[in-house]
Structure 1
Amino acid sequence: MRKLIILGLMAATVIPGAAMAQSRGEVRDSARDLRQEQRELREAERHGTRHDVREQRRDVREARQEMREDWRDYRRSHRDVYRGGNWRAPFRYNRWEAGARLRPAYYGPRYYVSDPARYRLPRPGANLQWVRHYNDVLLVNVRTGRVMEVHRGFFW
């Protein structure tokens, strides 16, 4: 009985990791399929008939839709993983606007988005950091505390 419980616990910890890796692979495969469909469309535009071109455009549209769905699933499946840290602040939610000035407690290092590329956010410039504030993401000048850009509901 004890072995079954231990095996069950081990499986419960391994399966989410495998599911996440699969999702990332699906996004990558979908992107590769889209590029292939776009190559085939260019080839059909050069050497094919109108029917071939129409068919390839439909295939590109379907590949784009598939990639969007896989990307959405990937973000949805990883949303809870990235929430795992203690990012919730000891203060209430505020609806910040660009140009507002924050106190340092609102944009401390524990609220930085450590890998903006993972969320397809542009690299911050000098003295700028992407900061999570509940479900919003703010681009903050860490020297002055001024909010440069706001994306509401980004993590939903």
Structure 2
Amino acid sequence: MDYTIKKAGLEDLDTVAELFNLYRIFYRQADNYEKCRTFIQERLDNEQSNIFLVYIGDKAVGFVQLYKLYHYIKLQKQWLLSDLFVHPDYRGKGLSVALIDRSKKWCEETEACGLMLETEKTNDIGNQLYPRCGFEYDGSHNYYYWWK
């Protein structure tokens, strides 16, 4: 399948927001396109994330969103692969792998030491995909959250 990957800018806001909304719905969140649009616009306006879109022809069918972090051991920048989504109609065609590969290339382009991610234990597809793409499972750390 022929595809192209493009770094998203503000001109792609509506496209990214639509896919981001579908991504959140996949993770059992309420449908809220306007809130998603505002969220993505803030990330792009403030250069707080980097988003890559994958296209089949002229239709965007998936995205990956990366946030900058810093690694305390390597003392370097790294990227958090926060969000990865391919529309259900286009899954199983290697597009998630292509987006991950583009994220790895972004690490090289930005002189980052690597990527990290977390996913739900119940995400069977992701938990099979990430090791196939060279990610190593880190069973020695617990992740905790605090929400106000």
TM-score (norm 1): 0.25
Q: Tell which structure's C-alpha radius of gyration is larger.
A: 1
- Hey, which of these two has a bigger chunk of helix by percent? 1
- Hey, which of these two has a bigger chunk of strand by percent? 2
